[in-house]
Amino acid sequence: MANVVIVGSQWGDEGKGKVVDIYTEYADQVVRFQGGNNAGHTLVVGDKKTVLHLIPSGILHPGKQCLIGNGVVLDPQVFLQEIDNLKQKGYMQDDAQLVIDGNAHVIMPYHKAIDVARETRSGARKIGTTGRGIGPTYEDKVGRRGIRVADLVNPEAFARKVREFLPEKNFFLEQFLGGTALDEAAIIAEYGGYGRALAKYVGNSSLLINQSIAAGNKILFEGAQGSLLDIDHGTYPYVTSSSTVAGSACIGAGTGPRFLHQVIGISKAYVTRVGEGPFPTELHDAMGQHLREAGNEFGSTTGRPRRCGWFDAVALRYAVRTSGMTGLAITKMDVLNDLATIKLCTAYDYRGQRLEEFPNDLDILRECTPIYEEAEGWQSDLSGATRYRDLPPKAAAYLDKLEEVTGCPVILVSVGPRRDQTIQLKNPFQDGALPSP
């Protein structure tokens, strides 16, 4: 009876949404534990495409309860819009399917304004954030001046907190960032409306999850972003403001480490990154352009073109280490279909020295150049493969190589956006399918 954590093992956009959608079949509950609507999870069922930013990707399965844990930051407007979209498409017909924890923090309009104004002011030194107010909301959470979902649904508490915090925010926005002050009464009225609309979804996700675990149910913990965007372990300061590694699942969902049994890292068969920051295997040439076009590498949240490069085993081994990954799901294998040769970075060169481990120091990382091994491309269409034996030998050999250089077993391979374009090698929910961490 395994509970499974899914995390990104690169810089986000690895295709976690699709894997969560598939694994939801084996789980009883799905919980998101960090991040906010900076994420964009694209799901394709039949011909229907759904993009989710906040609601767990398990929501497309009727009867599976989806929870937004205390570790998430919630933009109430986006949350309500997402529910409307889902209902219009025929999903989420039962409101009880979705619960948001009262301790989750609310993204306020001043958080978004500060995020955008700060980035503009930083010019060339910007982080390249999604502009969704994520960083400023987590800052206020840690600074103990945040507004939580439980406050949002309590009109007096909400108004009191807006009155208490807004003057400082407006001062900072106007006097330092050169922005425009926000209106207190307008915020209280607008967000009061959101509070009334979402009150029916508010609950105690920690309690529900732990009751469910006690009843013998299986939980899927859904991470957002990727390990290299982690606030502690990522390429700081070019990171997001939450903990994206697997350990974050405990804190952001309100349960203990002994209930996390398997950790599956999602990784593309190559690498992408959006926003600023070092990226040793980035390709600035026609191959990078090919990956971007073949992989449709444009952000599902901001539409920005993603930076593309070869698979980086040094970075991936680091992700395996910081999350204790027990299996890998390799996505977008089909994007490499046409290539005669595929490169994989297995070590870095730093001033003539061979580095096997991902350096902590960003100045060193910036100077690292990849040391590549080459694999033969399979040059055929994988998009119809549903079993391992459908794969051409060279594609299977590439997967073997990925296992060898990362030290982690590949348990799922995705060869296209649809649910049925997936090869499942091992089921992490099944007892004994994978060694316990």
Q: Which residues bind ligand IMP (CB under 6 A)?
A: 11-13, 38-40, 127-130, 132, 134-135, 224-225, 229, 238, 240-241, 274-275
Cβ 247 vs Cβ 219: under 8 Å: no
- Cα separation, 249 vs 31, whole angstroms: 9
Output the smallest distance, CB 280 to ligand IMP, in A.
Answer: 16
Within 123-181, where are the H helices? Answer: 134-142, 149-152, 155-171
Cβ 337 vs Cβ 382: under 8 Å: yes
Active site residue 53: no
Catalytic residue among 21, 28, 41, 312: 41
Compute the chain's Rg from CA coordinates: 22
Cβ 130 vs Cβ 105: under 8 Å: no
Output the smallest distance, CB 1 to ligand IMP, in A.
Answer: 30
Active site residue 312: no
Q: Render 295-337 in DSSP notation, one character per residue.
A: TT-B-TTT-PBPEEE-EEHHHHHHHHHHHT--EEEEE-GGGGT
Residue 340, classed as helix, strand or coil, is coil
Output the smallest distance, CB 308 to ligand IMP, in A.
Answer: 13
Cβ within 8 Å of residue 255, ≥6 positions away: 206, 209, 210, 213, 219, 249
Amino acid in the structure at residue 216: G
Which residue lies nearest ligand IMP, judged by its C-beta? 275
Output the smallest distance, CB 244 to ligand IMP, in A.
Answer: 9
Active-site positions?
Answer: 13, 41
